[in-house]
Structure 1
């Protein structure tokens, strides 16, 4: 029997379902944070567009060029956030599939191990029944 302190020292072993749930929460949190940052960038994009228009109306072409570069940079960041979200979801899906395959293999191995013992016990029961009949 494992001493009680070792459970706290090494941490409780998580089942695959618990690990999956924990990873899903982490993934959801990361996606929410990415979405929040993306929304801020989209607001900044709208603000920059308005500032460019204002600068152009005032004839401030130097400021217009700087703001246009910021706008391009902001749009690239927005695209990167969309890409990151997609790649994170794809990576999680791939890892989830691998974990499910491992779980199935372990379940099959356990079932096979359990069936061997059950088969032997079944043979013994059949032998006993046959001996009783004779």
Structure 2
């Protein structure tokens, strides 16, 4: 009736939610009625048992006509009426079970449709966003940007490599000599020789050898002068 009074037309999503609420409400009502019938079923069973016990008491009072009394009480009296009521109640419970299953199937179908609709809307939005992004992307400009980026990256790598080589050359000699001294020190230490003590003793010996050489040279020069 909304179109007659100028009301706002419901969207498919709103209609779907409304249908789902109605289905859930129907399922709850069916469940309540089924619970009532199950309670009634238990009451009828108790009444039948009570009536059957009363029939047994009547048989005890009139043992000579037990068969006749049993037939009257159990098959023609209140027990039979209650048994029919029990059968009908159970049939109604079965129908409510079937109705509940059918309504739940309808609810599941509505939920599936709702999920499909939501997925469709999401894909529609994603496609629209992708279309907008693709429209803004200029392949030629992007290619130029990538080319320039690659070029500047190569220049930066080359400069960094040159700086690394210069630094390595500046420290390579010192590092190499230090490493050589360290290796020699480790080797001499392993064989029990202290390099510092050896250098300390070696210095005076070298000086004495130089002084002896100078003395020999002076004596030889004097001998040559005497001969001449």
- TM-score normalised by the chain length of structure 1: 0.68
Partners of 2:111 and 2:139 lie apart in 1 by 42
Q: Is the 8 A contact 1:48 1:71 kept in 2?
A: yes
- Report the equivalent of 1:26: 22
1:80 pairs with 2:80? no
- Report the equivalent of 1:61: 75
Partners of 1:126 and 1:90 lie apart in 2 by 55
Partners of 2:24 and 2:122 lie apart in 1 by 28
What pairs up with 1:71-110 in 2 under 5 angstroms? 71-110=86-125
Over residues 31-79 of structure 1, what are the superposed CA-to-partner deviations in whole Å (9 max), with x where a residue is unaligned? Answer: 2211211121112112222332343334253232222111011011112
Q: Is the 8 A contact 2:23 2:106 kept in 1?
A: no
Partners of 1:125 and 1:55 lie apart in 2 by 96
SS in 2 for 1:9: coil
Once the two structures are overlaid, the 10-residue window that deviates more, 101-110 or 52-61, is 52-61
Structure 1 residue aligned with 2:42, among 41, 46, 49?
46
SS in 2 for 1:13: coil
Change (3 A) 1:108 1:125: farther
- Give unpaired runs (5+ residues) of structure 1: 1-5
Q: Is the 8 A contact 2:16 2:110 kept in 1?
A: no
The Cα of 1:15 is off from its aligned counterpart by: 6.7
- TM-score normalised by the chain length of structure 2: 0.44
Q: How many residues align?
A: 123
Change (3 A) 1:68 1:119: same
| Greater RCO, CA 8 A, separation 6+ | 1
- Report the equivalent of 1:123: 138
- Report the equivalent of 1:3: none
